[in-house]
Amino acid sequence: MREENFSGLGARTGRAIRVRAACLWVFALAVLRADPLPVGPGRVECPNGAEPLTLFTYKPPTYKDGPLLVVCHGVGRNAEDYRNFAITMAERFGVIVVAPLFDAIRFPSARYQRGGILGTDGKAQPPEQWTYAAIPRIVADLRRREGKPQLPYYLIGHSAGGQFLVRLAAFLPGEAVRIVAANPGSLLFPVHDQNFGYGFGGLPAELGSDDALRRYLAAQLTIYLGTGDNTPEHGFDGSAAAMRQGAHRLERGRTCFALAQALAEKRGWAFNWRKVETPGVGHQSAFMFAAKEVEAALFGKK
């Protein structure tokens, strides 16, 4: 009798465990299956370790299966404005736009424009701690929301966002189809005689070697310049190190591209950069995003 009771208890316990496991599985699926992005403008929170990020999004009402376009804001940290400026691209190209907010408190210039590669002690940080590592996390979260694990993505940033992406292209380009740096105030020149973030000087060997330069020149990077961005305004970097790169943003972008192209040719390295210019546009992200030339910057000339 005691044995029968024990067997019955075991059966009931087994059923309870199976029911509980099923409930936990359903709960886990619910967590994993986040709602897709809303049509039109939206705002969602993205996991990013201990530093979750706010994402401002836009999905065109006519969206079908276009790629994702991650838009990186300038030094004003106005991600919502950048999302709004990028709606023209979302509608024109049939893409989902997402503009992450890298606030100034958690992400000062050392962690935003320069990606947090070096810590406050001047030593290289582990790649998973770089701010650049947030980009693949954002992409993974949006792919999950949309139920499209292979959703391709492009990156575009203006001003400080362009600086962020120039250096990302060197150190953590990820799976981005194209990385577009628009009107960056300073650039990462492929040289060793300028310290990071103006060049590769002062970096540890694994980040500043010739192999690192070679990978940088092979990145799918576009330098996207407004020919009217030729005055020292809008938070212009007038430091001695920056002035070595040129008198204004247009000159700096042209010089960096020419130097990189010449170095790749001299060394026999792959060179996948593009330079695209839009006539008459100054340091204005909305106009850069609305210009017809942005199509060539992102997708190449037809």
How many Å apart are CA 224 and CA 182, to the nearest integer?
5
What confidence score (pLDDT) does residue 122 get?
85
DSSP state of 173: -
What confidence score (pLDDT) does residue 292 get?
98
> CB atoms < 10 A from the CB of 292, how many?
8
Q: Could you tell me the two tokens for 9?
A: 């208890």
What confidence score (pLDDT) does residue 233 get?
86
Backbone angles phi, psi at 28, to 5 degrees: -60, -40
Q: Can you say whether residue 247 is alpha, beta or left, with left for phi > 0 and alpha for psi between -120 and 50 degrees?
A: alpha
Domain ranges within the chain, ordered by starting residue: 1-33, 37-299
Which pairs from 115-119 meet CB under 8 Å and 24+ separation?
A: 115/164, 115/167, 115/168, 115/171, 115/172, 117/167, 117/171, 117/196, 117/203, 117/207, 118/196
Residues in contact with 266: Cβ distance below 8 Å, sequence separation at least 6, in sequence order = none
How many Å apart are CA 164 and CA 73, to the nearest integer?
9
Q: How far apart are the first and last CA of the chain?
A: 83
How many Å apart are CA 134 and CA 73, to the nearest integer?
14
Superfamily of domain 37-299 in the CATH hierarchy: Alpha/Beta hydrolase fold, catalytic domain (3.40.50.1820)
Give CA torsion, residues 58, 60, 66, 71, to 10 deg.
-30
Distance of alpha carbon 164 from the chain centroid: 8
How many Å apart are CA 41 and CA 82, to the nearest integer?
12
User: 178 burial class (0-12, 13-18, 19+ CB within 10 angstroms)?
Assistant: buried
What confidence score (pLDDT) does residue 39 get?
97
How many Å apart are CA 226 and CA 204, to the nearest integer?
34
Q: Could you tell me the two tokens for 37?
A: 């992005």
What confidence score (pLDDT) does residue 281 get?
98
What confidence score (pLDDT) does residue 183 get?
98
pLDDT along the chain (302 residues), means of 10: 41 46 39 78 97 98 96 98 98 98 97 95 93 98 97 98 98 98 98 96 93 98 98 91 96 98 98 98 98 98 82
